[in-house]
Structure 1
Amino acid sequence: MIDRSHDLPLTRQARELGISRGSVYYLPRPVSDADLKVMRRIDELHLEFPFAGSRMLRDLLRQEGIEIGRCHVATLMKKMAIEALYRRPNTSKAAPGHKVYPYLLRKLPIVRPNQVWATDISYIPMARGFVYLVAIVDWFSRKVLAHRVSITMEADFCVEALEEALARYGKPEIFNTDQGSQLDTSKNPVILS
């Protein structure tokens, strides 16, 4: 594309092609022989331990006598397009056709207990998979009113936690959940009034 022997200056050629002038002058440096050797070993280790991240690979390389830092391992992994394989939770995908509602509590002053309750689900990584934790919290006092743990993302444990909080503390004025909550009233009617 860029012709360094052309009469047109490099700056003008870059402008005509719509590319950065800096990219015209940049000459990539070749990867050093030492890095190539380490990259080959990282590739072998990645095939043997696909779940190993930069820290574990650094430790494995150090056991073999290769002195290398975690950041350098991470840089080489990025260059090689290698990343550790592990199961990630899939909790934030919106359901198809799910309506997005405006957030109505943004400027609401919270001045007393039982005015606003909130709930959210979090995951806790375990040795083999995840467990899910739901908590019902009073926004004013920051008190956890009820909680449950489950090995699945079914709605039952969320409803149980809410029913316990209602039985122990009465009914709040407002019950806030995030978008796509397991307490979606179209599937699991939870009537607070």
Structure 2
Amino acid sequence: MRLMDHHIMQEPTAGVITMKCMLKEKEINMSYERVRRLMRKASVIPIYPRRMLTQKGENKYIYPYLLRHLEISKPNQVWQIDITYIPMKNGFMYMTAVIDVYSRYIVGWGISNSLEASESLKVVQEAINIHGKPDILNSDQGTQFSCHSYVAFLKKEEIKISMDGKGRCLDNIFIERFWRTLKYQHIFLNPAKDGLELYLGIQKWLLRYHNRSHQGIQLKKPLEKYKSAA
């Protein structure tokens, strides 16, 4: 899973067959079914129209994508949420993060050893308690977001629900770019020995991330852009 997670950062369109060949070159022989299962477990998802590798929730909890052609002009207008696999020296964790699209500021994040929907919902609740509510919260169609507890909470808070189109990872592009930056600049270079070291390392890295200039926001700093307009 660690090798596949690193490879998907280099080749975002790599599917099961590509991963199987990559592993074979490293003298790791696996069946198609096992590679697919481990990709699902590690949340490794290729970017191209395809049969979904993530487990989709119930259709009644799937919502349309609201961001197409939307002009995003202020903080807390649109947030994006996602989950990714984080490798450690021994084992792995999952990280949920919520990004403010306008400023690229991470309004909430957390790590867990499970993919339970309650873990992601907790991150959203804490972000709202600290920063207030967004107008729209966008996610993919994974079971953590297309479930009763998540949808009911956002409806109660009167937050518009937006979800990526099927097989369209680029709909959630800003949080996907954040994962790439986090993994290349910190996770892959500093594999943590345990959950505490992982948490403290990410916390320290985020402080630098929030206080450096970003090309995507006209060389402004996420913290300054978020706070100055919030």
The TM-score normalised by the length of structure 2 is: 0.44
Do structure 1's residue 88 and structure 2's residue 53 form an aligned pair? no
Question: What percent of counterpart residues are identical?
Answer: 34
Q: Is the 2:57–2:146 Cα contact (8 Å) retained in structure 1? A: no
Structure 2 Cα separation of the partners of residues 100 and 164 of structure 1: 23
Counterparts in 2 of 1:33-182, with a 5 A limit?
A: 53-54=23-24, 56-57=26-27, 82-83=29-30, 87-90=38-41, 91=43, 92-95=54-57, 97=59, 100-127=62-89, 129-182=91-144
The total of aligned residue pairs comes to: 119
Structure 2 Cα separation of the partners of residues 123 and 110 of structure 1: 29
Q: Shift in Å at residue 169 of structure 1?
A: 0.7
**2:65 is matched by which residue type in structure 1?**
Y
Describe the superposition over 1:54-101 as per-residue Cα deviations: whole angstroms up to 9, x where unpaired. 4544xxxxxxxxxxxxxxxxxxx9xxxx44867433451224656654
Q: Which moved more, 1:154-163 or 1:176-185?
A: 176-185
Q: Is the 2:108–2:123 Cα contact (8 Å) retained in structure 1? A: yes
Aligned to 1:192: 157
Q: Which has the higher helix share?
A: 2
Structure-2 change in CA distance of 1:100 and 1:184 (3 Å): closer
**1:171 is matched by which residue type in structure 2?**
K
Q: Which runs of 4+ in 1 moved over 6 A?
A: none
Q: Shift in Å at residue 127 of structure 1?
A: 4.9
Q: Is the 2:57–2:143 Cα contact (8 Å) retained in structure 1? A: no
Q: Give the secondary structure class of the aligned counterpart of 2:93.
A: strand
Q: Is the 1:89–1:123 Cα contact (8 Å) retained in structure 2? A: no
Gaps of 5+ in 2: 1-21, 44-53, 159-230
Kindly report the root-mean-square deviation, in angstroms, between the aligned alpha carbons of the 2 structures.
2.9
Aligned to 2:145: 183
Structure 1 Cα separation of the partners of residues 125 and 25 of structure 2: 44
Structure 1 Cα separation of the partners of residues 140 and 93 of structure 2: 19
Q: Is the 2:56–2:146 Cα contact (8 Å) retained in structure 1? A: no
Gaps of 5+ in 1: 1-51, 58-76
**1:130 is matched by which residue type in structure 2?**
F
Aligned to 2:212: none
Specify the structure having the higher radius of gyration (Cα): 1
Q: Give the secondary structure class of the aligned counterpart of 1:105.
A: coil
Q: Shift in Å at residue 123 of structure 1?
A: 1.1
Q: Shift in Å at residue 175 of structure 1?
A: 1.4
Q: Is the 1:132–1:149 Cα contact (8 Å) retained in structure 2? A: yes
Q: Give the secondary structure class of the aligned counterpart of 1:120.
A: strand
Structure-2 change in CA distance of 1:94 and 1:164 (3 Å): same
Q: Which has the higher contact order (CA 8 A, sep 6+)?
A: 2
Describe the superposition over 1:91-140 as per-residue Cα deviations: whole angstroms up to 9, x where unpaired. 51224656654322111010110111110111123455431110011010
